[in-house]
Structure 1
Amino acid sequence: MTSPHSPNQNQLLAALPTEEFERLLPDLELVEMRLGDLLAESGETARHAWFPTSAIVSLHYVLESGDASEIAGVGHEGIVGVSLFMGGNTTPSRAIVQTAGHGYRLRAQALILEFDRAGRLMRLMLRYTQALMAQMSLSGTCTRHHSLLQQLCRWLLTTLDRMPTNDLVMTQELIAGMLGVRREGVTEAAGRLRDLGAISYRRGHITVLDRELLSTQVCECYGVVKKEFARLLSDVQHRQDSVSGVK
């Protein structure tokens, strides 16, 4: 029986030339990524890079008080572990699985060795890192200048872009933690979207009923980040089918 899982479900891995991809293949390990799993801790040296396929990972900045909020998300379009090839080895952010699914884990040394060959992987990783930086910078601006309703719409739309379904397994408390706001604020914003007919929700689940309506309520940050990812990684999708299939 053919496995439903493949490294090619991650856009960065799928864009690699066959020769580079096959050098990484022996070190790519399929892993289940469960909700709440801690992939990387702030200040600790990373031993692996992670390529999500169906999971979504949230990058959090953690304050000395222990409070944290999301600064970026990573899905099938990206990688968790950019500090490995950027030379920093550690990062002030924490990586936690936001949406359960699967992905591929790669030993740090295997990634570094391939990056140092200065081939296609290196160019892809640098362009992805630039797009990730754009996402991080807009996240801070959005928090300061846009309403909680707009931020919630941005978060919902960004999450939907990484999922095959409109049904999100996510509590309002967890969303509040992602956005760094009080749960009551998320409840009020979600209630307004429900009254508009954009979403429905029950405990632990949010279903997007009208994505176009969400798009009319979201701030400009969503479109700016999406456009930047498309600009920097536009040729990634064009090459997904050219990489040999992997079982």
Structure 2
Amino acid sequence: MRNEPINNRLLLSLPPETLQRLMPEMDLIQTESGAVIDHIDGLIEHLYFVNRGIVSLVKVMHDGRSVEVGAIGIEGVTDSNALFGVDVAITETMVQVPGSAFKIGRAFLSRELENDRALRRMMERYWRFAFGQLAQTAACNRLHTLEERCCRWLLTSHDSALDDSFPLTHEFLATMLGATRSSVSLTAKVLHRAGCIDYTRGIVTIADRLGLEETACECYSETATEMNRLFGPDTRPPH
């Protein structure tokens, strides 16, 4: 784990001197599928810069139903609002696609923001981006078909898993899409028959990325455009 390179685009966008100050205060940890990072109304003590995988922001209703309202991949950090005065979690924050993350204390990072103008400016820009993604997801869940949203989510996961294959169950995907397991399974079968994905024992493999991009809603490309505007073009080699 210690030899894993930095993949997080937010960290990579920081000035070298800023990153050098942060690195000794960060622990690279493994993230397990289904693990809850923050519980709603719980005190936020740490933030996590996602280095591989996906962390989802989930709203749970009184009847137990839940839906994803946002997702954080290698472009960002969990609970960025905690750096600007909101120190309790407003959603459940859980690992959807396992991987790794850099864990850092909220108090330390908040102090750094006070003294480092470049860090504060970047975190403010990222917070605006993250808020915009919440609005994008809300519109997407209301206006786009399940197949379109499923393709968007698979592409997003592919980008941050840094691998063509990654763990993903139909149950978890249904939770993230706010749909029934049966409807998600049917959609997955359609995508499998079209040659877009393979699915074996809880592992999804992206077989035809172009096919997914052609079927996904506009939200995927709009998000990618916003990320490149924030961080610059993604120059990482293809996985």
TM-score by length of 1: 0.89
Partner SS for 2:161: coil
Q: Which moved more, 1:36-45 or 1:60-69?
A: 60-69
Residue 176 (structure 2) aligns with:
178
Whole-Å Cα distance in 2 between the matches of residues 142 and 56 of structure 1? 18
**Residues 94-122 of structure 1: CA distance to partner in whole angstroms, max 9, x if unpaired?**
11111222211101111100111251111
Whole-Å Cα distance in 2 between the matches of residues 55 and 143 of structure 1? 22
Residue 149 (structure 1) aligns with:
147
1:5 aligns with 2:4: yes
Structure 2 portions without partners, runs of 5+: none
Aligned-residue CA RMSD in angstroms? 1.9
1:37 aligns with 2:32: no
Partner SS for 2:221: helix
Query: What letter is aligned with 1:217?
Result: T
Residue 127 (structure 2) aligns with:
129
Query: What letter is aligned with 2:3?
Result: P
Whole-Å Cα distance in 2 between the matches of residues 103 and 3 of structure 1? 11
Q: Give 1:189 deviation, angstroms.
A: 0.8
Question: 1:42–1:62: 8 Å Cα contact kept in structure 2?
Answer: no
Query: What letter is aligned with 2:136?
Result: L
Q: 1:27 aligns with which of 25, 28, 35?
A: 25
Choose between structure 1 and 2 for higher RCO, CA contacts under 8 A separated by at least 6 residues.
1
**Residues 105-141 of structure 1: CA distance to partner in whole angstroms, max 9, x if unpaired?**
1011111001112511111111111221222111111
Query: What letter is aligned with 2:216?
Result: V
Identity of aligned residues (%): 31
**Residues 169-190 of structure 1: CA distance to partner in whole angstroms, max 9, x if unpaired?**
1111110011111011101111
Q: 2:46 aligns with which of 45, 48, 59?
A: 48
Query: What letter is aligned with 2:191?
Result: L
Whole-Å Cα distance in 2 between the matches of residues 40 and 219 of structure 1? 29
Alignment CA distance shift 1:18-1:177 (3 Å) = same
Residue 105 (structure 1) aligns with:
103
Whole-Å Cα distance in 2 between the matches of residues 211 and 94 of structure 1? 30
Q: Give 1:23 deviation, angstroms.
A: 2.4
Question: 1:39–1:96: 8 Å Cα contact kept in structure 2?
Answer: yes
Q: Give 1:213 deviation, angstroms.
A: 0.8
Question: 2:53–2:157: 8 Å Cα contact kept in structure 1?
Answer: no
Q: Give 1:15 deviation, angstroms.
A: 2.3
Residue 221 (structure 1) aligns with:
219
Query: What letter is aligned with 2:115?
Result: R
Question: 1:83–1:90: 8 Å Cα contact kept in structure 2?
Answer: no
Query: What letter is aligned with 2:113?
Result: F
Q: Give 1:81 deviation, angstroms.
A: 2.1
Question: 1:128–1:233: 8 Å Cα contact kept in structure 2?
Answer: no
Q: Give 1:14 deviation, angstroms.
A: 2.2
Residue 243 (structure 1) aligns with:
none
Query: What letter is aligned with 1:157?
Result: L
Structure 1 portions without partners, runs of 5+: 241-247
1:193 aligns with 2:191: yes
